[in-house]
Structure 1
Amino acid sequence: MRFKNKVVVVTGASQNTGVAIAKRFLEEGSKVLINSNVKDDLQEVYKELSVHYKDSVMQYVADISDEAQVSAMFKALDEAYGRIDILVNNACHQGIGPTFEEIPTSFFWNVLQVNLQGTFMMSQQAVSRMLKQENKGVIVNMGSNVSKRAIHNRAAYVASKSGIDGLTKAMAIDLGPKGIRVNTVAPGYIFTNRWEVLDEAIKERRRTNIPLGVEAYGKDIADAVLFLASDEAKVINGSRLVVDGGCSAQHMPIDVDF
């Protein structure tokens, strides 16, 4: 097992990709703290994971945009495990809603508080502990392919994910010399519970415009995260691993080109 007895924190682990990431680390022998600000959903995931990994998983309800709650979560981690080896900053505000001219300042700032400031605060707490450890640690941030190719009516989300790209690079050059690697996974379309309510025509159009013809699933993103967290990626630092089936490689979707 690549991650036997490693202590891992995964934010946004009450549904979809976050759950898949937590499961993969547990399968590889890790001890995992799963986090979300949605108590009921997190409890359900914890119950599910505890069936097979009772002694290896713990849960903590916290809003990562709140500094006091982030601090309290890490104190709970200290009491439970006394260390952190890997942090996965997966929690995300999707920023779905208004067009640019209609975005309230409060909405824009809330998206950045969760996606960018939350990543910053979680990482600072983790780093303060990693630096005291003999084997320092790894941070994997969750970006998006939209940071390079924007999508409509998601200005706050796009801005936050562009910020993640820059923050990852800044962290990598500051922390790399101190033994801590920082990288980003940038997904494209992921099949989540949001897809379950889409019309089949919408799903098929999306798939048509993915060069590989298929969207990613949570496990695909989890595999990329685990790779970057592993010793197999020991000289990868400050990088952005795109997992989008080739969407970022094309200039125009196929139904525009033809």
Structure 2
Amino acid sequence: MKAQEGKRALITGAARGIGAGIARSFAAAGAELFLHYRSDPAAAEALAAELRATGTEVHLYRADLGKLEELDAMFDAIEREWGTLDAAVNNAGWEPGMVPLEEVTPEIYEKLTSVNIRGTLFASLREIALMKHNPSGGSIINIGSVQQETTVPGRTLYAMSKGAIHALTGELALEAGEFGIRVNNIAPGFIEVERLKRSPSYNREAVATDIPLGRVGQPEDIGALAVFLASSESGFISGDTIIADGGLHRRLARSRNTISRT
């Protein structure tokens, strides 16, 4: 029996990149999927078609999770369709790029925190409410970033938002544990997503030289870890942040080659 056979999983920000890798991993593990996306319906539909061709049940839903009315509508749809959740991966977030201190504005702050912090918080609260219906509880996996631990200039706002997710994970694990609900945080390092591959300035070999394992990460690396954290094999792990960066955060200093886009 597959690790997620018969389980129902929500993955936010699933159309591309890390989210798509997580979706593929959950599909391969046998889960039924509710995939959220915001801005790329063509990519979302293509992923859904790919996974359905393997026999996976897939529901697609578009929403801006920075807007609470759209977030609530999505969870209402999940409740109508399934009534409960077994696993949820909160991957949706906004990546502002490099923002030097002198360019930080209230507008960038509001956009970043509305999705990365507020969206993750209120999605988690709705997920907990749905998982309370399960005799066996459930598993929530937040997607943070290694930049909550180590970062480079120009990433103050982004690192702040991911640090908030790290703190949120611990608090939710503390309060949801009595219902058998586990909450953990994955902090990816440099993950090779589509937009990096398209960038003419991207050099995979140069980036890999800064990573102790000697290679860049792939979305499926994060997907495999998320499936493990959703499975019974991780049944005594909760409130933790697990860094998946090939050992990068153990370096005392980082090159600008390894500016994470996760």
Q: In which range does the TM-score fall when normalised by the shorter chain?
A: over 0.9
* Separation in structure 1 between the aligned mates of residue 222 and residue 168 of structure 2, nearest angstrom: 20
Where in structure 2 are the equivalents of 1:49-198 lying within 5 Å? Answer: 49-53=51-55, 56-198=57-199
Provide the alpha-carbon RMSD of the alignment: 1.7
User: Per chain length, whose mean CA-contact separation is higher, i.e. which structure has more relative contact order (CA < 8 Å, sep 6+)?
Assistant: 2
Could you give the per-residue CA deviations for residues 30-68 of structure 1, whole angstroms, max 9, x where no partner exists?
A: 1100001123332222222222235x1110001111111
**Mapped contact 1:187–1:221 kept (Cα < 8 A):** yes
Tell me the amino acid that sits aligned with residue 207 of structure 2: R
**Mapped contact 2:29–2:227 kept (Cα < 8 A):** no
Which residue in the other structure is 2:245 paired with?
A: 244
Structure 1 residues 201 and 85 mapped into 2: Cα distance closer, same or farther (>3 Å)?
closer
**TM-score, normalised to structure 1's length?**
0.93
How far 1:199 sits from its partner (Å)?
Answer: 4.6
**TM-score, normalised to structure 2's length?**
0.92
Which residue in the other structure is 1:205 paired with?
A: 206
Residue correspondences, number: 254
**Mapped contact 2:83–2:130 kept (Cα < 8 A):** no
Tell me the amino acid that sits aligned with residue 155 of structure 1: T
SS at match of 1:181: strand
Unmatched tracts of structure 2, length 5 or more: 257-262
Unmatched tracts of structure 1, length 5 or more: none
* Separation in structure 2 between the aligned mates of residue 42 and residue 127 of structure 1, nearest angstrom: 25
**Mapped contact 1:171–1:182 kept (Cα < 8 A):** yes
Which residue in the other structure is 1:41 paired with?
A: 43
* Separation in structure 2 between the aligned mates of residue 95 and residue 208 of structure 1, nearest angstrom: 25
SS at match of 1:194: helix
Amino-acid identity (%): 30
SS at match of 2:54: helix
Which residue in the other structure is 1:32 paired with?
A: 33
Tell me the amino acid that sits aligned with residue 165 of structure 1: H
**Mapped contact 2:196–2:202 kept (Cα < 8 A):** no
SS at match of 2:154: coil
SS at match of 1:153: coil
Tell me the amino acid that sits aligned with residue 10 of structure 2: V
